[in-house]
Amino acid sequence: MNLEYALINDTSWQNETDWQTPDTPFMSFAFWQALSDTGAIGEKAGWLPIFILVYRVADHSADNATDGEFSDAISNETDDTEQGDAKPIAVMPIFIKGHHRGEFVFDHSWSEAYARYGLDYYPRLVTSVPYTPITGQRFWLAKGETLNEDIVKTAIAGVDDIAQQVGASSWHGLFVTPELASITTSSMPTGQDIALAIAAHDEGMEPVPIEMPIMERQGCQFLWQNKDLLKDSQPFADFEAFLSTLKAKKRKTIRAERRKVAEQGITCQRKCGDAITDEDWKAFYHCYVMTYAVRGQQPYLTIDFFMALAQTLSEHLMLAQALDAQGEIIASSLFLYDTPASNSDNDSVDGNVDNSATLYGRYWGALGEYDSLHFELCYYQGIEFAIEQGLTYFDPGTQGEHKLIRGFIPTATHSLHRIYDPRFVPAISEFCTQDRLHMAQYRQQAFEALPFNADNMPDF
């Protein structure tokens, strides 16, 4: 496959071909446009975007291809792109960053190590959905394309190009799919290879050029599954059917928490899409801001961002609200979810129907402290909605062992890291290896603490 890349600093590439519907709403063009239009990404936010466009070129034009210069549009390597000489097939986003905010995979100790040696860890490059710890594909793919090693290698060459041009210390691909992690790391050198090369150089031997490795870290999040294992993994009929799969003590705890909410005179309701009014959005944002205010922080996202989502992604939005005895909104939780239409768009890629539709719990806030309300609004309302909509999974967001005892299953997350100074690679590579072992042990321990009856325990 003859692939080249171009580095693009705007979104003109979106009009170059027909693109597949992304695997989550967070990679939709509308979501990213909302981030850009409201200042959540951009130079002022410290998330400066660049897009690596991978395209297929005809053999007769390959000799004329020129990579590497930032441009506002696809470099004009061919005279007739519409004739198929240069066909865009994939795009990967890169952010140039001078901080770690909004990432949820932490490398502060690496930055501190650089500082101890008088070196600057910034700028650094990041591929992620800003402020969103959701596992997913980190490429936009043209219709008819599947992610493969050639596309990934071409994109990584673009990453290295950007790193050289801006003097970046590293690249970090966050919350990538297991498939992308496997493709990216399978043919790369290891930290041990770099250590041997450095030792050989120190001993005066002829240096051997070696590519920097891409190292993998793993984490743990908790994922709810809409699968009744006693009924051949059929979806649950209702919330009580889900509770029946838990041990008696855990069922009792959850029912008690839900009663506590009602006993405080609080009622909950859910609204979707266009049913969410402007007043609902204002009330939600008030709650959202309060969550940050109690920690003395400013929120990453503005009311304009959420209003933009309401205009362009309404079919993916569900808002759960808590109302006090006077009918006033005292807490809100905003979810995004996959729709049947978005899942079916990609069926033609591999001939299989996508049965992994997911609810994503993302943004929460409350005007005060209420017993068990967070569990109700962020977890139990989400579980009920996922059951009603026939969604297969519910991803409630990052962190929190309290999710475990409510039936959320420990699941591995994956991130990729490339360090460009070879002196730091052996130590960071060893750190990543030990970190993966630690996280595997943690997931095993978390799995053993799941609250399910023996007949309903999922596979580890």
CATH number of 250's domain: 3.40.630.30
User: Which secondary-structure segment (H or E) carries 364?
Assistant: strand 358-366
Q: Do the domain assignments include residue 403?
A: no
* Residue where a domain stops, chosen among 391, 415, 436: 391
User: Across residues 126-135, what is the average pLDDT?
Assistant: 96
Q: Do the domain assignments include residue 441?
A: no
Is 183 found in the same domain as 287?
Answer: no
Is 347 found in the same domain as 252?
Answer: yes
Q: Which range among 79-83, 156-160, 433-437 shows the weakest confidence by mean pLDDT?
A: 79-83
User: Across residues 416-425, what is the average pLDDT?
Assistant: 94
Q: Which range among 228-242, 260-274, 317-331 shows the weakest confidence by mean pLDDT?
A: 228-242
What per-residue confidence (pLDDT) applies to 70?
Answer: 57
Q: pLDDT for 5-17, tens place per residue?
A: 999 999 999 999 9
Q: Do the domain assignments include residue 156?
A: yes
Q: How confident is the model at residue 198 (pLDDT cuts 50, 70, 90)?
A: low
What per-residue confidence (pLDDT) applies to 344?
Answer: 43
Q: Are strands 124-127 and 170-176 parallel, antiparallel or unpaired?
A: parallel
Residue pair 421/169 in contact by the 8 Å Cβ criterion: yes
Does 266 have pLDDT greater than 60? yes
- In order, the DSSP letters of 104-169 are SS--HHHHHHHHHTT----SEEEES-TT----B---EEBTT----HHHHHHHHHHHHHHHHHHT-S
Nearest residue to 125 via CA among 91, 154, 152, 100: 100
Cβ neighbors of 339 (< 8 A, separation 6 or more) are 315, 316, 357
Q: Which range among 58-67, 112-121, 340-349 shows the weakest confidence by mean pLDDT?
A: 340-349
Q: Do the domain assignments include residue 450?
A: no
What per-residue confidence (pLDDT) applies to 205?
Answer: 53
Does 190 have pLDDT greater than 90? no
Q: How confident is the model at residue 58 (pLDDT cuts 50, 70, 90)?
A: confident
Q: Do the domain assignments include residue 292?
A: yes
* Residue where a domain stops, chosen among 363, 391, 419: 391
Residue pair 13/88 in contact by the 8 Å Cβ criterion: yes
What per-residue confidence (pLDDT) applies to 398?
Answer: 79
Is 32 found in the same domain as 82?
Answer: yes
Partners of 171 in beta bridges:
125, 418
Is 143 found in the same domain as 34?
Answer: yes
Q: pLDDT for 215-241, tens place per residue?
A: 999 999 999 999 998 888 899 999 999
Is 232 found in the same domain as 145?
Answer: no
Q: Provide the token pair at 218.
A: 């793993």
Q: Do the domain assignments include residue 435?
A: no
Task: Please give the share of the chain, as a percent, with pLDDT higher than 90.
Answer: 78
Does 59 have pLDDT greater than 90? no
Between the alpha carbon of residue 124 and those of residues 43, 95, 270, 420, the distances in Å are 14, 8, 41, 10
Q: Find the domain containing 265 and state its range.
A: 227-391
Q: Do the domain assignments include residue 219?
A: no
Domain tally for the chain?
A: 2
Q: Which amino acid is at 92?
A: M
Is 377 found in the same domain as 296?
Answer: yes
Q: pLDDT for 345-400, tens place per residue?
A: 444 333 333 468 999 998 999 999 999 999 999 999 999 999 999 999 999 987 77
Q: pLDDT for 67-105, tens place per residue?
A: 555 554 434 333 334 435 788 999 999 999 999 999 999
Hunting for tokens 């009792």 — which residue is that? 252
Cβ neighbors of 328 (< 8 A, separation 6 or more) are none
CATH at residue 106? 3.40.630
What per-residue confidence (pLDDT) applies to 403?
Answer: 92
Partners of 310 in beta bridges:
none
Is 179 found in the same domain as 270?
Answer: no
Please, what is the average pLDDT of the chain?
A: 88
Is 117 found in the same domain as 234?
Answer: no
Is 332 found in the same domain as 263?
Answer: yes
User: Across residues 137-161, what is the average pLDDT?
Assistant: 96
Which of residues 422 and 202 earns the better pLDDT score? 422
Hunting for tokens 């001078």 — which residue is that? 98
User: Across residues 387-416, what is the average pLDDT?
Assistant: 92
Between the alpha carbon of residue 85 and those of residues 19, 54, 56, 63, 148, the distances in Å are 18, 13, 8, 12, 21
* Residue where a domain stops, chosen among 391, 425, 440: 391
Is 249 found in the same domain as 110?
Answer: no
Cβ neighbors of 216 (< 8 A, separation 6 or more) are 181, 185, 414, 415, 416, 417, 432, 436
d(CA 261, CA 250): 17
What per-residue confidence (pLDDT) applies to 294?
Answer: 83
What per-residue confidence (pLDDT) applies to 82?
Answer: 42
User: Which secondary-structure segment (H or E) carries 348?
Assistant: helix 347-350
What per-residue confidence (pLDDT) applies to 81?
Answer: 40
Q: How many CB atoms lie within 10 A of CB 310?
A: 19
Is 297 found in the same domain as 382?
Answer: yes
User: Across residues 100-117, what is the average pLDDT?
Assistant: 95
Q: Do the domain assignments include residue 417?
A: no
Is 152 found in the same domain as 238?
Answer: no
Give the Cα-Cα-Cα angle 408, 409, 414 (nearest 5 degrees): 120
User: Across residues 426-431, what is the average pLDDT?
Assistant: 94
What per-residue confidence (pLDDT) applies to 191?
Answer: 54
